Amino acid sequence: MTRAELDKRPADVASMFDGIADRYDLVNDVISLGQDRLWRRATVQAVDAYSGELVLDLAAGTGTSSESFTGKGARVIACDFSQGMLRVGARRRGGASRRGVTFVAGDALALPFADQTFDAVTVSFGLRNTNDCDQALRELHRVTKVGGRLVICEFSHIPVGVLDRVYGTYLMGALPRVARLVTEKTEPYEYLSESIMDWPDQRALAQRLISAGWESVAWRNLSFGVVALHRGYRRR
């Protein structure tokens, strides 16, 4: 199967995720030791979407987390550029637009939505897979209403250097082997390890949000910094 490299060519990334769509959610649960559920729950709480709001869940994959944003009556657009992921998600839900969630194919670097469409935008474990993070952040800003908010949930770095190095050893060595317990397609998880190690730390990502136009930017660590939640607002 196609394995994306750190240049993150869009066709390679999309093809890679198409190839693992059926078991994607199960493998994530296994390699994170169930922590992914806690991380997604924290994201839903941070977005805090309510009735009458429209939320963009970018890099939504199969839409596993998208329905969680509808709990208080919000509507959600689950957007991804992997057709395979979207097909699996729509099949599981019994259609492409059900129970407040609508699946839409789209590229994070050129979102197929008008300016100031969404009350809130969020992306979980997907910003890292774009080949132009800054353009993706600008596009998210463009489609957010003035006063709207952004929440990013993404792998990050443990602030204590020695612990981060231990974590890096796990990522590069053990994670693909753990993935092999539930899937034969381990190449994407080698890419996952490499892309996490290559990703900027919390402070550097916050600065990129600010450069893209987001204001009142802040972050908090989850699981000691293995994952970080970043939040920003569009003020103008």
- What is the mean predicted confidence (pLDDT) over 128-146? 97
Do the domain assignments include residue 209? yes
Better-scored residue on pLDDT, 202 or 185: 202
Which range, of 16-20, 126-130, 208-212, averages the lowest pLDDT?
16-20
Read off the DSSP letter of residue 112. Answer: S
Q: Which domain holds residue 76?
A: 10-157+200-234
- What is the chain's Cα-based Rg? 17
d(CA 215, CA 211): 9
Backbone torsions φ then ψ of 210, nearest 5 degrees: -60, -45
| Residues annotated within a binding site for S-adenosyl-L-methionine | 62, 80, 107-108, 124
Give the tens place of pLDDT for each residue, 143-165.
Answer: 999 999 999 999 999 999 888 88
Inform me whether the pLDDT recorded for 1 exceeds 70: no
Residue-level pLDDT at 113: 98
- What is the mean predicted confidence (pLDDT) over 75-103? 94
Quote the mean pLDDT of the chain. Answer: 90
| Residues annotated within a binding site | 62, 80, 107-108, 124
Give the tens place of pLDDT for each residue, 5-37.
Answer: 878 888 888 788 778 777 777 777 777 778 888
Do the domain assignments include residue 171? no
Inform me whether the pLDDT recorded for 131 exceeds 90: yes
The residue to which tokens 């290559």 are assigned: 198
Inform me whether the pLDDT recorded for 78 exceeds 70: yes
Residue-level pLDDT at 220: 98
- What is the separation of C-alpha 18 from the centre of its chain, rounded to a whole number of angstroms? 16
Inform me whether the pLDDT recorded for 2 exceeds 70: no
- What is the mean predicted confidence (pLDDT) over 97-123? 97
Contact 140, 130 (CB under 8 A): no
The CATH number of the domain holding residue 70 is 3.40.50.150
Inform me whether the pLDDT recorded for 140 exceeds 90: yes
The residues near 95 (Cβ < 8 Å, ≥ 6 apart) are: none
Do the domain assignments include residue 34? yes
**pLDDT band at residue 230 under the 50/70/90 scheme:** very high
What is the total count of domains within the chain? 1
Residue-level pLDDT at 192: 82
| % the chain with pLDDT above 70 | 98
75 φψ region: left (φ > 0), alpha (ψ -120 to 50), beta (else): beta
Inform me whether the pLDDT recorded for 109 exceeds 60: yes
Residue-level pLDDT at 22: 76
Better-scored residue on pLDDT, 19 or 108: 108
Inform me whether the pLDDT recorded for 215 exceeds 80: yes
Do the domain assignments include residue 125? yes
Do the domain assignments include residue 78? yes
Residue-level pLDDT at 185: 73
- 3-class secondary structure, 234: coil
Inform me whether the pLDDT recorded for 71 exceeds 60: yes
Question: Whole-prediction pTM value?
Answer: 0.91
d(CA 111, CA 3): 24
